[in-house]
Amino acid sequence: MALFMLACFDKPNSLDLRMATREAHLAYVRENAAMVKLAGPLLDEAEAMAGSLFVLDCADRAAAQAFNAADPYQTAGLFGTVEIRGFKATIGQLG
């Protein structure tokens, strides 16, 4: 298993879409809780939700990409940009 960071940035002016798909997104994350080590919304300057951050523990980059591809936020077209990078935890704990 390997750690991957996903930084998902919402398209501009898409808070309504985020809120409309939020319950489906949260259900999806709960269904995949075994691989999700850390997750939460990214905030803009006004402290409104404007993206998502995940740290996943999964087999490989393809598994992280598959997780993102099936996320209801992604399938609804919420994300404008998604960065997936390998991650090495050196301080703190990812339980």
Domain ranges of the chain: 2-86
Residue 7 has a CB neighbour count (10 Å cut-off) of 15
Name the burial class of residue 32, with classes exposed (0-12), middle (13-18) and buried (19+) by CB atoms within 10 angstroms of its CB. Answer: middle
Q: Is the confidence at residue 26, as pLDDT, over 70?
A: yes
pTM more than 0.85: yes
Which superfamily does CATH assign the domain made up of 2-86 to?
Dimeric alpha+beta barrel (3.30.70.1060)
- The share of the chain scoring above pLDDT 90, in percent, equals 92
Q: Is the confidence at residue 44, as pLDDT, over 90?
A: yes
| pLDDT at position 92 | 84
